[in-house]
Amino acid sequence: MQNFSELSLSAPLKSNLVKHGFTEPTPVQALAIVPALAGRDVVATAQTGTGKTLAFVLPIIHLIANQPLHSGVRAVILSPTRELAIQIHETFVKIAAGTGIRAAVVVGGLSEGSQLQSIRKGAHVLIATPGRLYDFLGRQLVNLASVRILVLDEADRMLDMGFLPTIKKIMAAIPTDRQTLFFSATIETSVKHLVETHVRNAVRVAVGSTTKPIEKIDLHLYEVEQD
C-alpha cells in the first residue's frame, strides 16, 4: 500500500484520513494495516513515533463498522500508561468521527464514574491500562465476552512494568477466536513467549531495530564566558 486511497474504506473514514493529513502511510502502517483489515493476527515491531497507533486504530474502526453493531465491547486496546491511552483515544476520536463507533478510556488516575458512564453509553472499544481494566473486570463492571479484537500496544513496555500476569488474566476473559494485534518496540524473550501462545498464523512486520529501542538524545551548546 502506497496511499490510503487504495483501501476500500467507508466515506467517513476516507474523509477523516484526509482531514487529518493522512495520505501516504508510514512503513509500519503500509505493512500492518492491510493484513489487519483482512482479519489477520499481526505482530509488528516498531518504535514509538512511527505511526503505529493508526496502524491498529484504522482497522479496528473499519472492522467494527462493517459488522452488525452488537451490544457490548468489540475491541480492547491495552496500553502501558494513562498518557498513552489518552493519546490513542484522541487519534481514535479523529478517525472514527461520523462512523458511529465509540471508544471509552479505562485508566487509573481519572474519574471512575465518568469512565463507567462512557462504557454504559455503549462503547464499542475500550482503550485501557491493564491494571484498571483488570480491576473493572474483577468487580464485574465490564464484560469482555463479545470482544473480537485485542491490541497490545508497546507490549514490551507493559511486560517490563510487570503487567504480564494481569495481561494473561485479561486475555483469558476474551474469546479465543479473536483477532490479536501485537505492537512492540522490541521482541525479547517474554514478548516472544506471549506472542507464540496467543497468535494464530500471524503476519510479522518489522520496522527498524528489533532488539534495542531508539534512544533520543538532545544536544545543546552553550557559550560560557571565561572568568
3-state DSSP of 168-220: HHHHHCCCCCCEEEEEECCCCHHHHHHHHHHCCCCEEEECCCCCCCCCCCCCC
Predicted pLDDT at 33:
96
Residue of 128, 154, 202, 203 lying closest to 49 (CA atoms)? 154
Is residue 211 assigned to a domain?
A: no
Q: Is the pTM of this model over 0.85?
A: yes
pLDDT digits (tens, 9 = 90+) for 12-31: 999 999 999 998 999 999 99
Predicted pLDDT at 130:
97
Is residue 181 assigned to a domain?
A: yes
Is residue 219 assigned to a domain?
A: no
What is the residue type of 10?
S
Provide the 3-class DSSP secondary structure of residue 134.
Answer: helix
Q: Confidence class of residue 209 from pLDDT cuts 50, 70 and 90?
A: low
Q: Buried b / exposed e across 136-169, counting CB within 10 Å, b at 16+?
A: bbeeeebebeebbbbbbbbbbbbbeeebbebbee
Predicted pLDDT at 144:
97
Instruction: State how far the Cα of 144 lies from the Cα of 64, in Å rounded to an integer.
Output: 15
Q: Report the chain's mean pLDDT, rounded to a whole number.
A: 89
Q: Buried b / exposed e across 52-63, counting CB within 10 Å, b at 16+?
A: bbbbbbbbbbbb
Q: Confidence class of residue 2 from pLDDT cuts 50, 70 and 90?
A: confident
Is residue 223 assigned to a domain?
A: no
What value does the mean pLDDT take over residues 70-92? Answer: 94
Number of domains in the chain: 1
Q: Confidence class of residue 173 from pLDDT cuts 50, 70 and 90?
A: very high
Instruction: Write the CATH number for 186.
Output: 3.40.50.300
Q: Is the pLDDT of residue 216 over 90?
A: no
Neighbours of 211 (CB within 10 A): 9
- Range scoring the smallest mean pLDDT among 56-60, 120-124, 189-193: 189-193
Q: Which residue has the higher pLDDT, 212 or 73?
A: 73
Beta-bridge partners for 103: 125
Is residue 95 assigned to a domain?
A: yes
Q: Which residue has the higher pLDDT, 220 or 134?
A: 134
Is residue 215 assigned to a domain?
A: no
- Range scoring the smallest mean pLDDT among 40-49, 53-62, 82-91, 212-221: 212-221
Contacts of 83 (CB under 8 A, 6+ apart): none
Domain that holds residue 161: 4-206
CB 203 within 8 A of CB 45: no
Helix axis angle, 52-65 relative to 27-37, nearest 10°? 20
Is residue 140 assigned to a domain?
A: yes
Is residue 226 assigned to a domain?
A: no
Predicted pLDDT at 48:
76
